[in-house]
Structure 1
Amino acid sequence: MPHISPLKRAVSACALALALVTGSAHAAPWSLSGSLLTHDPDIVKSGSTYWIFETTGNAGIGVKYSGDGHAWTQGVAIFGSGLSWWKTYNPSSTPAQVWAPGCIEISSTAACYYAVSSFGSQKSAIGLTTSAGGIAAGKWVDNGAVITSASGNTYNAIDPQPVTDASGNLYLSFGSFWNGIYITKVDKSTFKPTGSWTNIAKDTSAGVENSFILKHTYSGTTYYYLFASKGSCCNGSSSTYHIVVGRSTSITGPYYDKNGTSMMNNGSGTTIASSGSRFIAPGGESAISDTIMAWYALDNQASLNPILFINNLSWGSDGWPAALW
């Protein structure tokens, strides 16, 4: 994601709710208040506190928190002064901005992955930071880069997202444009990738990125659902971002959309969120289990500022998630 412009005016929860025209019968997104400016929100619940890790217009990894998931407060950024090694992958970044964090807690240790890059470049890195005692402890330690990419690679080392499978094994999905999204197994003690990579989603025409995988059981079978953002995120009012989904019985795929088309084929993915009249280009999705999803969209009435949305995930009788709005 590129640098985000400051919020021009406050956006009230009432205005958000009234502006949405969902065209569907299920519940509208939650009413939210407080600090709602965000890009690529990664939502995590630890104990009774909701956390969002995000791309922001400021330095470091942006952090928000909430006691109820509705009223949000901007917290202190992780590595707000930047890290020296980031300059290798984005030498011109001022402030020291990083993108699209993906975080998880395992055995009282929090791990956050994030991307260091510049817009349209393959000179990218996925960084790792860990906090002993979990997210709330805030004891973030730099673990350096765990995946890197360069011009000519088939992948781009951005948009990392950790996920556990039904057996408790840890994986990391990542990637943007080029050959799309990959997944690799991760060592649960070091939080560093190990083993081979598998290409699980590809779209060389529109691009695919910002993966998020979750588990959901349907008719006695555990499925893995791959959510992704497709199209252009950051082309002003012409942005075409939208959220799609496919599923598989294996975390490493193959993933198919509702029509049975492989997520490795251009044009695949079942759309669950697209542009409305006021809020356009939804993307950067993440979820808590298979119950709640967060994403952002651009506000046509506020200088295309990126605004946080959260809604319950509704599941149809066919085992597929319903539209988000």
Structure 2
Amino acid sequence: MACSGVCNNAHDPALIRRDDGTYYRFSTGAKISIHSAPSITGPWTYKGAAIPSGSSIDLTGKDDLWAPDVTKVGDTYYLYYSVSSFGSQNSAIGVATSTNLDSWTDHGSTGITSKAGKNYNAIDGALYWDGSKFVMSFGSFWGDIFSVNMANPPLKVLSGAASTNIAYKPDGSHAQEGAFIALNGNYHYLFFFCRPMLRLRYQQASRGGFVDKAGKKCTEGGGTTVLESHGWVYGPGGQGVYYDPSLGPVLYYHYVDTRIGYADGQKKFGINKIDFSSGWPVV
């Protein structure tokens, strides 16, 4: 679907719709950029920074926040973000809350943190309700993607909860990140970015782990491609799934338009309808 208005500055987008029908898009950069639009395709308008004073987490990167995720729980919106610096494991996932999506209160760290020597990097958090509890997926490179149970309300990690590895690419640089879990029917679908393509992994609840279409475990490098670079569209990633009241499930993501440029601020906002009817999502 074609995007209109401000369709760049969309690195690592997070999408949600307010009850009045206004769509909000959050993205990496400028202390989490906010854009809004009357429809999912736009026209998108820049509204400012979600956390204009920067994060209260005392780490390098607290004024350059990454990879937002936004979820509504009850009457409150929860905005998760990453504090880190490129190539470093000195990282944490923070959270802010709002009742209107325009003004936010920062609560600092969720308790998901990492430093050198950890088997994960604490960035790219995404909240998920699995039917009985809140779960946060996170991670990038190193040991790749993990999950941990969250408290309710989901401001902090559940006391005593341990993280679990849910996806790992054993070869190369372990270039997997940006996990997002979606539920459709009886299946839990794990979407993640494997450079330079967007790939899918999924779990049937009774199997106890994510596997790809061929049955290969995702902790052993399995993964089925949903969307990859094509034509002038390069590196679709930073994705999520949103259940739109009019369109049904849509896959949203950022991508590089090679005709324009590769800079973070030039990353474009992409939207495709996604069909789960066969049991495997197709865009």
After TM superposition, the score normalised by the length of structure 1 is 0.78
Are 1:275 and 2:229 an aligned pair? yes
**1: CA distance, partners of 2:207 / 2:258:** 38
Quote how far apart the aligned CAs of 1:310 are.
0.6
In structure 1, the residue matched to 2:280 is 320
Quote how far apart the aligned CAs of 1:191 are.
2.2
Are 1:287 and 2:241 an aligned pair? yes
Are 1:54 and 2:18 an aligned pair? no
Q: Identity of aligned pairs, percent?
A: 32
* CA deviation map 1:12-50 (0-9, x unaligned): xxxxxxxxxxxxxxxxxx111011111011111222122
Quote how far apart the aligned CAs of 1:174 are.
0.5
**2: CA distance, partners of 1:40 / 1:106:** 21
Q: State the secondary structure of the residue aligned to 1:53.
A: strand
Shift in alpha-carbon separation, 1:190–1:313, aligned structure 2, 3 A: closer
In structure 1, the residue matched to 2:254 is 296
Q: Which of 143, 151, 159 is 2:107 aligned to? A: 143
In structure 2, the residue matched to 1:161 is 126
Residues 57 and 83, structure 2, Cα contact 8 Å, conserved in 1: no
**2: CA distance, partners of 1:66 / 1:165:** 29
In structure 2, the residue matched to 1:76 is 48
Quote how far apart the aligned CAs of 1:250 are.
3.3
| 1:213-228 paired onto structure 2 within 5 Å | 213-217=181-185, 222-228=186-192
**2: CA distance, partners of 1:310 / 1:85:** 32
Q: Which runs of 5+ in 2 are unaligned?
A: none
Quote how far apart the aligned CAs of 1:190 are.
4.8
In structure 1, the residue matched to 2:162 is 196
Q: State the secondary structure of the residue aligned to 2:140.
A: coil
* CA deviation map 1:159-218 (0-9, x unaligned): 000011123x2111110111111111111225211122211001142421100100111x
Amino acid at match of 2:129: T
Residues 211 and 227, structure 1, Cα contact 8 Å, conserved in 2: yes
Residues 63 and 76, structure 1, Cα contact 8 Å, conserved in 2: yes
Shift in alpha-carbon separation, 1:84–1:164, aligned structure 2, 3 A: closer
Amino acid at match of 1:320: W
**2: CA distance, partners of 1:261 / 1:288:** 27
Q: Which runs of 5+ in 1 are unaligned?
A: 1-29, 232-240
In structure 1, the residue matched to 2:271 is 310
* CA deviation map 1:62-98 (0-9, x unaligned): 1111111111111121112323535x233xx7xx211
Q: Which of 202, 209, 214 is 1:259 aligned to? A: 214
| 1:108-257 paired onto structure 2 within 5 Å | 108-131=75-98, 133-135=99-101, 138-146=102-110, 147-167=112-132, 169-194=133-158, 195-204=161-170, 205=172, 206-217=174-185, 222-231=186-195, 241-250=196-205, 253-257=208-212
In structure 1, the residue matched to 2:3 is 32
After TM superposition, the score normalised by the length of structure 2 is 0.89
Are 1:99 and 2:72 an aligned pair? no
Q: State the secondary structure of the residue aligned to 1:36.
A: coil
**2: CA distance, partners of 1:251 / 1:123:** 36
Residues 77 and 100, structure 2, Cα contact 8 Å, conserved in 1: yes
**2: CA distance, partners of 1:98 / 1:251:** 37
Count of residues in Structure 1 that have an aligned counterpart in Structure 2? 268
Residues 56 and 106, structure 2, Cα contact 8 Å, conserved in 1: no
Residues 255 and 269, structure 2, Cα contact 8 Å, conserved in 1: yes
**2: CA distance, partners of 1:112 / 1:141:** 10
Q: State the secondary structure of the residue aligned to 1:144.
A: strand
**Structure 1 runs (4+) greater than 2 angstroms displaced:** 83-86, 249-253
In structure 2, the residue matched to 1:4 is none
Amino acid at match of 2:138: F
- The answer to which of 75-84 and 35-44 deviates more is 75-84
In structure 1, the residue matched to 2:14 is 42
